[in-house]
Structure 1
Protein backbone atom coordinates (compact mmCIF):
# COMPACT_ATOMS: atom_id res chain seq x y z
CA UNK A 1 0.00 0.00 0.00
CA UNK A 2 1.36 3.42 -0.87
CA UNK A 3 0.48 6.75 0.60
CA UNK A 4 1.21 8.57 3.81
CA UNK A 5 0.64 6.72 7.06
CA UNK A 6 0.57 8.79 10.25
CA UNK A 7 1.58 7.57 13.73
CA UNK A 8 1.91 9.26 17.11
CA UNK A 9 4.40 8.33 19.84
CA UNK A 10 4.61 9.69 23.37
CA UNK A 11 8.24 9.49 24.47
CA UNK A 12 11.39 7.69 23.38
CA UNK A 13 10.32 4.11 24.14
CA UNK A 14 7.01 4.56 22.29
CA UNK A 15 8.94 5.95 19.31
CA UNK A 16 11.18 2.87 19.26
CA UNK A 17 8.10 0.61 19.39
CA UNK A 18 6.50 2.54 16.53
CA UNK A 19 9.63 2.08 14.41
CA UNK A 20 9.53 -1.68 15.11
CA UNK A 21 5.86 -1.84 14.08
CA UNK A 22 6.60 -0.03 10.80
CA UNK A 23 9.45 -2.39 9.97
CA UNK A 24 12.71 -2.06 8.07
CA UNK A 25 13.16 -0.77 4.55
CA UNK A 26 10.43 1.86 4.65
CA UNK A 27 10.80 5.65 4.44
CA UNK A 28 10.10 7.05 7.90
CA UNK A 29 9.96 10.76 8.65
CA UNK A 30 9.58 11.94 12.25
CA UNK A 31 8.65 15.28 13.77
CA UNK A 32 10.02 15.62 17.29
CA UNK A 33 8.03 18.17 19.24
CA UNK A 34 7.31 19.24 22.81
CA UNK A 35 4.43 17.47 24.52
CA UNK A 36 1.11 19.28 24.86
CA UNK A 37 0.06 21.14 27.98
CA UNK A 38 -3.25 19.64 29.06
CA UNK A 39 -4.86 22.96 29.95
CA UNK A 40 -4.08 24.65 26.61
CA UNK A 41 -3.69 21.77 24.14
CA UNK A 42 -0.53 23.47 22.84
CA UNK A 43 3.09 22.44 23.16
CA UNK A 44 5.20 24.08 25.88
CA UNK A 45 7.74 24.77 23.10
CA UNK A 46 6.92 28.04 21.25
CA UNK A 47 8.78 27.03 18.05
CA UNK A 48 6.85 23.74 18.05
CA UNK A 49 3.53 25.60 18.22
CA UNK A 50 4.53 27.54 15.09
CA UNK A 51 5.92 24.50 13.22
CA UNK A 52 3.16 21.94 13.83
CA UNK A 53 0.44 23.49 11.61
CA UNK A 54 2.98 23.93 8.77
CA UNK A 55 3.96 20.26 8.90
CA UNK A 56 0.31 19.17 9.20
CA UNK A 57 -0.59 21.14 6.07
CA UNK A 58 2.34 19.69 4.10
CA UNK A 59 1.64 16.08 5.13
CA UNK A 60 -2.00 16.53 4.16
CA UNK A 61 -0.78 17.66 0.73
CA UNK A 62 1.76 14.80 0.69
CA UNK A 63 -1.01 12.29 1.36
CA UNK A 64 -2.92 13.70 -1.59
CA UNK A 65 0.25 13.52 -3.71
CA UNK A 66 0.53 9.82 -2.89
CA UNK A 67 3.97 9.87 -1.29
CA UNK A 68 4.89 6.53 0.25
CA UNK A 69 6.06 7.65 3.67
CA UNK A 70 5.46 6.68 7.28
CA UNK A 71 5.15 9.91 9.30
CA UNK A 72 5.56 9.84 13.09
CA UNK A 73 4.71 12.73 15.38
CA UNK A 74 6.92 12.17 18.44
CA UNK A 75 6.18 14.02 21.67
CA UNK A 76 9.49 14.28 23.55
CA UNK A 77 7.94 15.02 26.94
CA UNK A 78 7.69 18.11 29.09
CA UNK A 79 10.44 20.73 29.36
CA UNK A 80 12.18 18.94 32.26
CA UNK A 81 12.26 15.58 30.43
CA UNK A 82 13.54 17.22 27.23
CA UNK A 83 16.30 19.15 29.03
CA UNK A 84 17.73 15.98 30.62
CA UNK A 85 21.02 15.33 28.76
CA UNK A 86 20.50 11.58 29.26
CA UNK A 87 17.10 11.46 27.51
CA UNK A 88 17.09 8.85 24.73
CA UNK A 89 16.36 11.39 22.01
CA UNK A 90 19.67 13.12 22.77
CA UNK A 91 21.82 10.01 23.38
CA UNK A 92 20.54 7.71 20.60
CA UNK A 93 23.34 7.70 17.97
CA UNK A 94 20.79 7.51 15.13
CA UNK A 95 18.96 10.63 16.38
CA UNK A 96 21.32 12.88 18.39
CA UNK A 97 18.66 15.57 18.74
CA UNK A 98 19.88 18.95 19.93
CA UNK A 99 16.69 20.99 19.60
CA UNK A 100 12.97 20.78 19.02
CA UNK A 101 11.15 20.91 16.81
CA UNK A 102 13.26 18.64 14.61
CA UNK A 103 12.01 17.01 11.43
CA UNK A 104 14.19 14.15 10.25
CA UNK A 105 14.23 11.16 7.98
CA UNK A 106 15.01 8.13 10.14
CA UNK A 107 18.19 6.43 8.99
CA UNK A 108 19.38 9.48 7.06
CA UNK A 109 21.28 11.70 9.52
CA UNK A 110 21.94 14.35 6.88
CA UNK A 111 18.25 14.89 6.18
CA UNK A 112 16.80 17.09 8.92
CA UNK A 113 15.21 20.46 9.47
CA UNK A 114 15.59 22.31 12.76
CA UNK A 115 13.51 24.78 14.75
CA UNK A 116 12.46 27.78 12.65
CA UNK A 117 13.27 26.00 9.35
CA UNK A 118 10.18 23.89 10.01
CA UNK A 119 7.98 27.00 9.95
CA UNK A 120 8.94 27.43 6.27
CA UNK A 121 6.36 25.54 4.21
CA UNK A 122 8.62 25.41 1.13
CA UNK A 123 11.49 23.81 3.07
CA UNK A 124 9.12 21.26 4.64
CA UNK A 125 7.51 20.44 1.30
CA UNK A 126 10.93 19.96 -0.32
CA UNK A 127 11.95 17.75 2.60
CA UNK A 128 9.09 15.34 1.87
CA UNK A 129 9.25 15.39 -1.92
CA UNK A 130 13.02 15.29 -2.54
CA UNK A 131 14.47 11.80 -2.65
CA UNK A 132 18.05 11.42 -1.41
Structure 2
Protein backbone atom coordinates (compact mmCIF):
# COMPACT_ATOMS: atom_id res chain seq x y z
CA UNK A 1 0.00 0.00 0.00
CA UNK A 2 1.17 3.51 -0.63
CA UNK A 3 -0.17 6.98 -0.02
CA UNK A 4 0.55 10.23 -1.77
CA UNK A 5 -0.77 13.56 -0.54
CA UNK A 6 -1.30 15.63 -3.65
CA UNK A 7 -2.88 18.80 -2.31
CA UNK A 8 -2.28 20.05 1.21
CA UNK A 9 -4.81 22.85 0.83
CA UNK A 10 -7.75 20.44 0.58
CA UNK A 11 -6.08 17.39 2.16
CA UNK A 12 -6.65 15.19 -0.87
CA UNK A 13 -5.04 11.76 -0.52
CA UNK A 14 -4.38 9.09 -3.13
CA UNK A 15 -3.70 5.49 -2.09
CA UNK A 16 -3.10 2.25 -3.94
CA UNK A 17 -3.91 -1.25 -2.70
CA UNK A 18 -2.60 -4.19 -4.68
CA UNK A 19 -4.92 -7.10 -3.87
CA UNK A 20 -7.92 -8.26 -1.87
CA UNK A 21 -5.95 -8.79 1.35
CA UNK A 22 -4.60 -5.22 1.19
CA UNK A 23 -8.13 -3.99 0.45
CA UNK A 24 -9.41 -5.71 3.62
CA UNK A 25 -6.50 -4.32 5.64
CA UNK A 26 -7.15 -0.80 4.33
CA UNK A 27 -10.89 -1.05 5.12
CA UNK A 28 -10.17 -2.29 8.65
CA UNK A 29 -8.05 0.80 9.33
CA UNK A 30 -10.56 3.32 8.00
CA UNK A 31 -11.72 5.60 10.74
CA UNK A 32 -14.74 7.83 10.60
CA UNK A 33 -12.74 10.57 8.93
CA UNK A 34 -14.31 13.78 7.71
CA UNK A 35 -13.03 13.14 4.19
CA UNK A 36 -15.15 11.09 1.86
CA UNK A 37 -13.53 7.85 0.66
CA UNK A 38 -13.80 6.60 -2.92
CA UNK A 39 -12.46 3.36 -4.37
CA UNK A 40 -11.61 2.75 -8.02
CA UNK A 41 -11.32 -0.95 -8.86
CA UNK A 42 -9.15 -1.74 -11.89
CA UNK A 43 -7.31 -4.65 -13.48
CA UNK A 44 -3.72 -5.45 -12.51
CA UNK A 45 -1.05 -3.49 -14.33
CA UNK A 46 1.15 -5.31 -16.84
CA UNK A 47 4.90 -4.77 -17.25
CA UNK A 48 4.18 -1.72 -19.44
CA UNK A 49 2.36 -0.03 -16.54
CA UNK A 50 -1.07 -0.37 -18.15
CA UNK A 51 -3.95 -2.53 -16.96
CA UNK A 52 -4.82 -5.71 -18.85
CA UNK A 53 -8.39 -4.27 -18.94
CA UNK A 54 -8.86 -1.97 -21.94
CA UNK A 55 -11.76 -0.18 -20.25
CA UNK A 56 -9.57 0.52 -17.23
CA UNK A 57 -6.90 1.88 -19.58
CA UNK A 58 -9.45 4.27 -21.08
CA UNK A 59 -10.86 5.42 -17.72
CA UNK A 60 -7.65 5.86 -15.73
CA UNK A 61 -6.28 9.05 -17.37
CA UNK A 62 -9.71 10.71 -17.28
CA UNK A 63 -10.25 9.85 -13.62
CA UNK A 64 -6.68 10.82 -12.70
CA UNK A 65 -7.07 14.24 -14.36
CA UNK A 66 -10.48 14.76 -12.73
CA UNK A 67 -9.16 13.88 -9.25
CA UNK A 68 -6.20 16.20 -9.81
CA UNK A 69 -8.55 19.11 -10.55
CA UNK A 70 -11.05 18.30 -7.79
CA UNK A 71 -11.05 20.87 -5.00
CA UNK A 72 -12.57 18.73 -2.27
CA UNK A 73 -11.19 16.92 0.74
CA UNK A 74 -11.30 13.28 -0.32
CA UNK A 75 -9.44 10.02 0.00
CA UNK A 76 -9.18 8.21 -3.35
CA UNK A 77 -8.00 4.60 -3.41
CA UNK A 78 -6.99 2.66 -6.51
CA UNK A 79 -7.67 -1.05 -5.97
CA UNK A 80 -6.01 -3.72 -8.11
CA UNK A 81 -8.48 -6.61 -8.58
CA UNK A 82 -5.82 -8.94 -9.99
CA UNK A 83 -5.03 -10.43 -13.35
CA UNK A 84 -7.67 -11.37 -15.91
CA UNK A 85 -8.10 -15.01 -14.82
CA UNK A 86 -8.42 -14.08 -11.13
CA UNK A 87 -10.97 -11.35 -11.93
CA UNK A 88 -13.01 -13.53 -14.31
CA UNK A 89 -13.41 -16.28 -11.68
CA UNK A 90 -16.99 -16.06 -10.36
CA UNK A 91 -15.58 -16.73 -6.87
CA UNK A 92 -13.29 -13.68 -7.05
CA UNK A 93 -13.67 -12.04 -3.63
CA UNK A 94 -14.17 -8.61 -5.18
CA UNK A 95 -17.27 -10.03 -6.87
CA UNK A 96 -18.60 -11.83 -3.80
CA UNK A 97 -17.77 -9.28 -1.08
CA UNK A 98 -21.02 -7.56 -0.05
CA UNK A 99 -19.11 -4.31 0.56
CA UNK A 100 -18.22 -3.85 -3.11
CA UNK A 101 -20.29 -6.39 -5.16
CA UNK A 102 -18.32 -5.75 -8.36
CA UNK A 103 -19.74 -6.92 -11.66
CA UNK A 104 -17.48 -4.98 -14.04
CA UNK A 105 -14.24 -3.05 -13.98
CA UNK A 106 -13.49 -0.29 -13.81
CA UNK A 107 -15.86 0.59 -10.99
CA UNK A 108 -15.71 3.61 -8.71
CA UNK A 109 -17.68 3.47 -5.48
CA UNK A 110 -18.31 5.99 -2.75
CA UNK A 111 -17.58 4.13 0.48
CA UNK A 112 -20.55 3.71 2.81
CA UNK A 113 -22.85 5.02 0.10
CA UNK A 114 -24.86 3.67 -2.80
CA UNK A 115 -23.28 5.83 -5.48
CA UNK A 116 -21.11 4.07 -8.05
CA UNK A 117 -19.91 4.34 -11.62
CA UNK A 118 -19.29 1.21 -13.65
CA UNK A 119 -17.51 0.49 -16.92
CA UNK A 120 -17.73 3.28 -19.50
CA UNK A 121 -19.48 5.54 -16.96
CA UNK A 122 -16.02 6.05 -15.41
CA UNK A 123 -14.89 7.90 -18.57
CA UNK A 124 -17.63 10.53 -18.43
CA UNK A 125 -16.61 13.71 -16.61
CA UNK A 126 -20.21 14.78 -16.00
CA UNK A 127 -20.90 11.50 -14.18
CA UNK A 128 -17.67 11.84 -12.20
CA UNK A 129 -18.79 15.33 -11.21
CA UNK A 130 -22.13 14.03 -9.95
CA UNK A 131 -20.45 11.21 -8.00
CA UNK A 132 -18.09 13.60 -6.23
CA UNK A 133 -20.67 16.29 -5.43
CA UNK A 134 -21.20 16.87 -1.73
CA UNK A 135 -24.47 15.54 -0.42
CA UNK A 136 -24.11 17.20 2.98
Q: Which has the higher contact order (CA 8 A, sep 6+)?
A: 1
Contact 1:34 1:100 in 2 (8 A): yes
Task: Give the drift of 1:25.
Answer: 4.7
How many residues are treated as equivalent by the alignment? 127
Correspondence 1:80 to 2:80: no
Q: 2:45 aligns with which of 20, 24, 36?
A: 36
CA distance in 1, matches of 2:89, 2:80: 15
Q: Which runs of 5+ in 1 are unaligned?
A: none
Match of 1:113 in 2: 117
Root mean square deviation of aligned Cα: 1.6
Please report the TM-score for the alignment, with normalisation by the length of structure 1: 0.88
Task: Give the drift of 1:117.
Answer: 0.6
Q: 1:68 aligns with which of 67, 73, 79?
A: 73
Q: Which runs of 5+ in 2 are unaligned?
A: 1-7
Contact 1:7 1:18 in 2 (8 A): no
1:1-80 equivalences under 5 Å are 2-26=10-34, 27-38=36-47, 40-62=48-70, 65=71, 67-80=72-85
More helix by share: 1
CA distance in 1, matches of 2:66, 2:26: 22
Which stretches of structure 1, 4 residues or more, deviate above 3 A after TM superposition? Answer: none
